[in-house]
Structure 1
Amino acid sequence: MKRGLVLATVVGLGFVIAASVAGKLEAPPPAPLPITAAPTPAAPEESTPYSEAGFHQGEAGLTPSERAGREIWYKATAGNDRFHTYVFQQRIGVLIDWFKVLRTDERDNRFKTWGMINDPSCCQPGSPNCPAKSTEETYGFDWCPGDDKLLKFVGKNGYTDPACDFKDAPADPKDAHASQKQSSCDLAFGTSTGMMGIRKFPNPLFNAEAWKKLNNGKLGTWDGYDRKLSENKTLSDSKVSKLVDGSIQPPFRIGMACGACHIAFNPANPPSDPAHPKWENLRGAIGNQYSHISEIMVSGMPRDSLEWQVFAHARPGTSDTSAVPTDQINNPGTMNTLINILQRPVHAGERVLAWRKASSCAAGSDEKTCWCEPGKPGKCWLRSEKEEAVHHILKGGGDSIGALGAIQRVYFNIGSCSEQCWVNHLTDLRQLDPDTRNFGQTPFNIGQCRRDCPNFRAIEDRLPDILGFLLSKEATATDLSTARENALKQQNPQAKYTHDDLVGDLEREYEKDAVSHGRSVFAANCARCHSSQPGKEDFHALSKETGLRADWLGNDNLTPASEVGTFRCRALHSNHMNGHIWEEFASQTHHALPPDKGIPEMSGDGRGYYRNISLVNLWATAPFMHNNAMGPEVCGWGAGQPYDFYRPSYVDGQTKQLLASDKQPGCVPYDPSVEGRYKLYKESMLQLLYPERRIPKITKLDQDIVLDLGPKVWDGKDEKKLFGFTLRIPAGTNAGLLGNFQHKPFIVDLVQAKTKPQELEARLTKQLGASNGHKVAQEMKTIATAITNDPSQLLATIKAAKERLPLLLEVYSSCTADVENDGHRFGQDLSDKDKKALIAFLATL
């Protein structure tokens, strides 16, 4: 068996970070040195623009509950600063270089680089009216409101978080829980970093003298923190930076609020300069379609690392939300557009097993089914199953125990309560023994997390306020006619541009009566999925109850991925399955969904479906589909810049190899203007309705990945490899192949092919049938023998085996789809006239 474990270890080490590095992650801090604090900037004067005044102007017209929810959405990290500073780096093994992302001297390039939005209340030290005059005062970051207090506590204890002064909405007298809220301090606001939704906290473990020694005597840079651990190229330490060195503490801990992904430029009032927005240019819930959040999360990794090449493949405006609680499925999805939620359909009669508010627990009940918070009379929670009307949230409807539960889960997904509640439920990609914990996921326990994590309770107690904000005016639709009128008013405050003006312009662009004809085409061909009012054709009518457009332009029902035909990997997201980490956030009805028999991969238990999404404001949110692959590729810099993340993905339809550089269509620079959005909408609609015009897209590795595999020892002078080999994964390999490869079952079966081949064949026969089971078992024996004889031929052996037996790809890949802009061919048979009319009509919604 030991030989089998060695084989398993060798094959699986593509996912291992070198042991010599991992040993440094928990290194003890150095002996304390005298602290030389940075000078503290003065508080801003009343005349300065750099204050919270602009943020609070956005509260106008909101109820107290909506106001409270808005502030939480924009600022609350719920304690995830430890996750983004320590846990992600040390437990997950992926490094974030926060200085590279947030350094103030690159503030003007922040949007073009990371697609993230600058905080209008912050400033670059030394700029006019900025309270900080030097980056030495801010440790290289922007100065932001509240920093006059926060910066005094860098390297010290005693900081009082601004959330402690949070003004709660008045308690609901009908809610026994409302007057017994967890302390608002546990919302954990910190202050802005200068990037919307990314917050900072003073690190009391920071040592200024040690920091200056690392950074050539300076406090205002982190450049030394990103130097390699060793300059000796023969050591594995030469491949990683001091970001992994646990003995060096940065000045700030960095946290993330929900707004990091959802705050976006207002389509109706975009900034004239995206690098310098004003508060009126921002909306809090519609989703940032330019964000490079995946690149941010691996910003401390070399571009030729496995983590960068596989993780940083998501298109701008998308994120693989299962990348941390990994399900080994390549499934980036767009930031959810939260618009007109008051009109969003709910689904009645779903069986929901969930915790609900109660005033007491029955005698003899245990904390697994009922729990009362100590010291808070009447604040109890009871777990039971009931039929309810719920939304289907996420691309495949996985969050289905109610809107409040879905909001709560967002905070876990961005790091809240990680150490208390869910890190130990993750898959450890290095754990190759199927009988050991963390070989696979285990379910997150909502009841346990409520008991053990005060940040959980702080958010949970205010979920109705957050939902209230998401139902407020800040999350309502913006029509193209309104956006054009606002743009005209920039030149002439008296300008008018009505819906009729828009229709007139569209009919001049397309043809007479195009909009009315397009409505008929939409009703006949699209409304069965993209309408919430069956049988009605007035898609512009307003609701008497809400004043919003009555039709949500989507029924939110689940459709099999094989019917939609789009890149199906997202539909195979498995984190909500029974036995997996987010099991408790899916309804029993969702778990009971049958498999989609039209796709080759295993599905069922809620997997294999896509929601029929809303088309509200489609004009402002191109490119399309859940992965932003339908339409032109968008980019920040375009090409040639040091932080340009765009990688060409257009391939030859036959060979599926990247087209030559001179054949690659160029990417479209970010343009959040009204007409820039409209132009991108039209180009994306043409690709949607004319599938034959699409050039296939497959994300490829753009650099070789070199993995030096095998254990090493350090004798105090030299690093020596005991045994092992170097594995090179060449540029041009499909990124999804690595992301989707189920290395654990593959390794287990390789071991069994050497040790218990008859048992392996019996199991595969049961799974695949007699003929296919025998073929796969024999191929696994061949691979195991070849790798044992020459481990360096691992990749070549597997590749050759897949070419001989394509069935291997199906058995050991979570998703075999590769073309990312395929599918959704509805409407391809319409006439050219009908297609043009449909484009014109949809622009009015």
Structure 2
Amino acid sequence: MKRTYLAALALAVAATAFWSFRPEADVSGVAEAIAQNTPAVQPAPPHAQVPETGVQDQNQPYFEACAREGLNESECVGRLIWFKATGGNERFHTYTFQQRVGVLVDWYRVLRTDQRDDRFWAWGIINDPSCCKPGDANCPAKSPDETFGLDWCPGDDVLLKYVGKQGYIDPACGLKDAALDPEDPHSQGGKLDKRHSACDLRFGTSTGALGIRKFPNPRFDPEKWKALNGGTASWAGFDSKLDARTGVESDSRVSKLADGSIEPPFLIGTSCGSCHIAFDPLNPPADPAHPKWENIKGLVGNQYTRMSELLGSGMPKSALEWQMFAHARPGVTDTSAISHDQVNNPGTINALVNVAQRPVFKGESVTKWRKVADCSAEKDEAKCWCEPNRQGKCWQFSTRSDDVTPVLLGGTKVNLPGIHHILKGGEDSTGAHEAIQRVYFNIGSCSEQCWVNHFTDMRQVDPEQRGFGQTPFNVGQCRRDCPNFRAVEDRLQNILDFFASAESDETDLYVARANARKAKGAAGSYGRVELIADLDKEFGKGAVARGQAVFAENCARCHSSIPEAEGGPFKSRDFAAPNDAHPRKVRADFLGNDQATPVTEVGTFRCRALHSNHMAGHLYMEYGNETLRARPVVADIPEADVMKNGGRGYYRNVSLVNVWATAPFMHNNAIGPEVCGKPANKENDFHRARYAGENNALLASQPDCVRYDPSVEGRFDLYKRSMAELLHPTSRGRKITLTNADLLIDMGIRPLEGKVEKPLHGFGQVKIPMGTSAGYLNGLQHKQLIGDLFLAKRAPARLEATGKKALVPTLQSIADEVLKNPSRFVEVLRQHHDFVAANYQSCDQLVENEGHRFGEDLSEADKKAVTAFLATL
């Protein structure tokens, strides 16, 4: 049996193995204020190029926001980088993603200016208040022909001159860095600035959507573009289907976006803020499609984003990649969609709230590169490396357990003893700086220089070839070879300072209501006392006080960052008490201990807990520490034993600070009503039915989804409804995610007879009917299945030696049937569904809103009480 023959079947195996599952304020003068009240920033380093000045100052709204929030210079620089820096990923999103992963992004579909008012409702992305629709009053661009059909944004008067030309100097070159940290080993007491040029942060200009940035494409050919699109105001030809030209059926599923001979006018990149920038719960916009800058915050996390659909926007619904990845709920994305680990990985955008009080963990064994001033004692560059032409800027690779987290609190640097645990299972566990840097890899920075050749190629099934499985990329090599890495790394402390700044402070419901009342001209003050009175009126007399006792007795064990041994009994605790030692008196309790909890204890959708990218030998190995990977096996996970290693099987509990503003709940937003945008353009309506009966068939009558509503009372209503589901598990219904279109895969060679494709040897088109489990497609270990089929026929002893002796007879039977009649391989797999599911599925959990049954035994009065109390936190 030939491995190459099985390799040809790999993709179809991946897609069809589970076919049988198919079921029956005024801010004038602020810029001057910040200039007077913050330390002077250092001038741009002499090696930086000077960008051209546009008619509008791109940074003015950002400086005004820094003044509103009271940010110092380091925090303000960190904010600017968070909102704007792509780390050079515009090439990734324009070329590498499409060519290496095979997924097409239709940026015009997402960003077209004539649908600006529908953009939030369709994609959940937030319109940039500084940008405008060409032709609107006071918009510098009078026609979309000037902007190639996108919004006009500050800086575009410069950028547009360089579309199709060389010579554009990126606005990041003009960044004025914050003062040097005298404790940084590279600054020699704050005397020498050795930071890499800010140019490689790569800002570009806004596309009209916050966090999504554009750059002029010097390879753009205007004459080709006009011929293809009939002008410059539209991308209609560029994102059209090929069948209009060829008439061939399979071409109806292929976009012109795949044609590498046509260069678009812009390269599009994304910043970290593309997912994290959100509406301020304290000051939401009157119209979400037309926000103002004072309605925007950078750390809350966008609970409406459709990032998975956005990144697959150029793919047909019949494509494998679309059906595998573009099924997450709003505010949820598969952080391993690109660096795929064959585990269904839904995860909400992290809400970075009250970061200054987030727990750190002491004494964990961490292997990583650390800053030093000299490498003279170590000549091996794999252990110690100094950046050329920057004397004293060195890094040493070592294993230690004494790391600290440096946080700027009110202008004073404090070294917290220990490190944070980031991501849903705490996988990013080598330090806050490293966790921030890794986010840039996740959005495409340094892909070609560092990591793109280390992740899995889903279509490569030969274990002897590159791309069969993940391998860890080398952070030291990445630092040497990727200038964007160094540009970001040299400013990580600024970003961390921003994380701990006032912009991440709690956003309390009573403050939000007070602001809403003030905006309406209501008389009288509204504070915590008034909020408690209103909650007691709604949920029952004394509900808040009773809820505090219920929380202390039933919830604080996990959802308090201050253990009883340190803060006294929970029953007498004021969970909203401020930290009097903090300059801003932020809430002392993070309301989550960040401890690892076995997924079998919490009982929620477990697939994300089996995430493997930080395991030894995997892509992000250098971003997980040894203590994490040594966590004991969660023995009662129902998955195969191969999944019970590397510290997997855990979730860290989340903070409940301002939980009133961040519903629905759980790491996949599955507990609570389904939310949706209901856009005017129905082609961009990605809501799907998810409620199913006990037979796993979707209910004929689905509850209506709740339209996005970032208003104060809209958030509060969604919170109450989500809490009701959380505390009443038997009333939640059953939510599952199925494919919502037929999945079509073209197999083998298909010569044309005229315009009709005639497949050779019976291999034509595989059709997987809609209704297949989307999670099963993500979790099928098809590479292992193919490899084991090969060994079962060619070298069964080798397979038996791996502990799979019991599998050999069935694998041989499957292989024999496929070889005998290749055209029936789908039916063969259907016949062996249970075998494949039991042995080649990373996670087979179907229902997504199970678990977290804590509190279901409370009385109805106590459930209302704890709902009322949590709304005060």
The secondary structure found in structure 2 opposite 1:223 is coil
Q: Deviations over 1:278-327 (max 9, x none)?
A: 00001101100000000000000001111111210110001101010110
Residues 361-398 of structure 1 deviation map (CA, whole Å, 9 limit, x = unaligned) = 13452111100000001000001111131111000000
- Say which SS state the counterpart of residue 214 (structure 2) adopts: strand
Q: Secondary structure of 1:692's partner?
A: helix
Q: Partner of 1:642: helix, strand, or coil?
A: helix
Aligned to 1:213, which of 227, 244, 267?
A: 227
Whether 2:357 is the aligned partner of 1:329: answer no
1:221 aligned counterpart, secondary structure: coil
Distance, in Å, in 2 between the alignment partners of 1:99 and 1:640 is 14
Structure 1 residues 77 and 15, CA, compared in 2 at 3 Å: closer, same or farther? farther
Relative contact order higher in (CA < 8 Å, ≥ 6 apart): 2
Separation of aligned partners in 1, 2:233 and 2:524: 48
Identity %: 57
**Structure 1 position 819 matched with structure 2 position 844:** no
The answer on 1:786 being equivalent to 2:817 is yes
Deviation at 1:235, TM superposition (A): 5.7
* Residue 416 (1) aligns with residue 445 (2): yes
- Other-structure match for 2:305: 291
CA contact 1:638–1:668 (8 Å) conserved in 2: no
Match of 2:543 in 1: 514
- Matched AA of 1:87: T
| Offset at residue 574 of structure 1 (A) | 0.4
3-state SS of 2:397 partner: strand
Distance 1:371 1:284 in 2: 35
Residue-by-residue CA offset, 1:693-739 (whole Å, 9 max, x unaligned): 01111101111112121134689999764442321111111111111
What is the aligned partner in structure 2 of residue 88 from structure 1?
Answer: 97
State the match for 2:257 in structure 1: 243
Question: Residue 780 of structure 2 corresponds to which residue in structure 1?
Answer: 741
| SS class of match (1:350) | coil
Aligned-partner SS, 2:391: coil
Among 651, 672, 693, the alignment partner of 2:731 is 693
Spell out the pairing of 1:612-761 with structure 2 (5 A cutoff).
612-637=653-678, 641-652=682-693, 654-660=694-700, 663-712=701-750, 721-723=759-761, 724-761=763-800
Q: Tell me the SS of whatever aligns to 2:852.
A: coil
The separation in 2 between residues aligned to 1:315 and 1:259, in whole angstroms, is 19
Correspondence for 2:267: 253
**Within 1, Cα distance between the matches of 2:827 and 2:137?**
60
Q: What secondary structure sits across from 1:361 in the alignment? A: coil
Range 315-324 or range 530-539, more displaced: 530-539
What does residue 7 of structure 2 align with?
A: 8
What is the DSSP-based 3-state SS (H/G/I as helix, E as strand, rest coil) of the residue aligned with 2:363?
strand
1:639 CA drift (Å) = 9.2
1:829 alignment partner, SS class? coil
The 1-side partners of 2:394 and 2:677 are apart by: 50
One-letter amino acid matched to 1:441? Q
- What is the CA distance between 1:570 and its match in structure 2? 0.5
In the aligned structure 1, how far is the partner of 2:680 from the partner of 2:160? 37
Pairwise CA distance, 1:44 = 4.7
**What 5-or-longer segments of structure 1 have no aligned partner?**
17-41, 766-772
Match of 1:274 in 2: 288
In structure 1, give the amino acid aligned to 2:698.
Answer: L
Distance 1:808 1:761, change over 3 A: farther
C-alpha distance after superposition, 1:715-766 (max 9, x if no partner): 999976444232111111111111111100011111222223344345344x
1:309 aligns with 2:318: no
In 2 relative to 1, CA 629–252 (structure 1 residues): closer, same or farther, beyond 3 Å?
same
> Relative to structure 1, is the Cα distance of residues 595 and 453 closer, same or farther in structure 2, using a 3 angstrom cutoff?
same
How far residue 491 of structure 1 moved from its aligned partner, in angstroms, is 1.2
Shift of 1:175: 2.5
Match of 2:161 among 152, 155, 162: 152
2:575 counterpart (539, 550, 563): 539
Q: TM-score, length-normalised on structure 2? A: 0.89
Any conservation in 2 of the 1:141–1:193 contact (CA below 8 Å)? yes
Q: Per-residue CA shift, 1:213-245, capped at 9, x if unaligned?
A: 0002x1111110012234334364342111111
Residue 562 of structure 1 pairs with residue 600 of structure 2: yes
Which one of 77, 80, 83 corresponds to residue 74 of structure 1? 83
- Name the SS for the 1:58 alignment partner: helix
Tell me, in whole angstroms, the C-alpha distance in 1 between the residues paired with 2:63 and 2:800. 66
Aligned partner letter, 1:200: K
**Distance verdict in 2 for CA 1:451–1:494, change over 3 Å:** farther
Question: How high is the TM-score relative to the length of structure 1?
Answer: 0.92
In 1: Cα distance, 2:680 partner to 2:740 partner: 14
Shift of 1:568: 0.4
Which amino acid in 2 is paired with 1:580?
H
Name the CA distance, whole Å, in 2 between partners of 1:358 and 1:515.
52
Q: Does 1:136 align with 2:135?
A: no
Write the distance in 2 (CA, Å) between the matches of 1:15 and 1:447: 35
Q: Which whole-Å CA distance do the structure 2 matches of 1:716 and 1:409 have between them? A: 51
Q: Judging changes above 3 Å, is the alpha-carbon distance between structure 1 residues 308 and 12 closer, same or farther for their aligned structure 2 residues?
A: closer
| Counterpart residue identity of residue 423, structure 2 | L
Q: Which moved more, 1:386-395 or 1:601-610?
A: 601-610
Shift of 1:170: 1.0
What's the offset of the Cα at 1:782?
2.1
Conserved 8 A contact 1:741-1:814: yes
In the alignment, the residues of structure 2 paired with residue 512 and residue 15 of structure 1 have an alpha-carbon distance, to the nearest angstrom, of 57
RMSD, aligned α-carbons: 1.9
Letter in 2 for 1:672: P
- 8 Å CA contact retained: 2:433, 2:492: yes
Deviation readout 1:666-694 (Å, 9 max, x if unpaired):
11100000000000000000110000101
Secondary structure, counterpart of 2:744 in structure 1: strand
Q: State the Cα distance separating 1:835 from its structure 2 match.
A: 0.7
Give the whole-Å Cα distance in 2 for the aligned partners of 1:816 and 1:230: 38
Report which stretch shifted further, 181-190 or 430-439: 430-439
> How far did 1:12 drift?
3.0
Q: Kindly tell me the number of residue pairs found equivalent between the two proteins.
A: 801
Distance 1:762 1:366, change over 3 A: closer
The answer as to whether partners of 1:329 and 1:814 remain within 8 angstroms in 2 is: yes
**Gaps (5+ residues) in structure 2?**
16-52, 188-192, 404-417, 565-569
After TM superposition, give the deviation of residue 808 of structure 1 in Å.
3.2
One-letter identity of the residue aligned with 1:190: G
Contact 1:44 1:131 survives alignment (8 Å): no
Instruction: Report what 2:832 is aligned to.
Output: 801
Call closer, same or farther: CA 1:637–1:693 in 2, change over 3 Å: same
Aligned counterparts of 2:473 and 2:279: Cα–Cα separation in 1: 34
CA distance in 2, matches of 1:224, 1:195: 23
Q: How far did residue 7 of structure 1 move?
A: 2.5
Check conservation: 1:638, 1:669, Cα contact below 8 A.
no
Separation in structure 2 between the aligned mates of residue 78 and residue 57 of structure 1, nearest angstrom:
24
Q: Which residue of 2 aligns with 1:574?
A: 612
1:32 maps to none
Once residues 280 and 162 of structure 2 are traced to their aligned partners in structure 1, the CA distance between those partners, rounded to angstroms, is 36
**Residues 304 and 704, structure 1, Cα contact 8 Å, conserved in 2:** yes
Q: 1:830 aligns with which of 841, 844, 858?
A: 858
**Residue 600 of structure 2: SS of its match in structure 1?**
helix
1:355 counterpart letter in structure 2:
W
Distance 1:191 1:209 in 2: 24
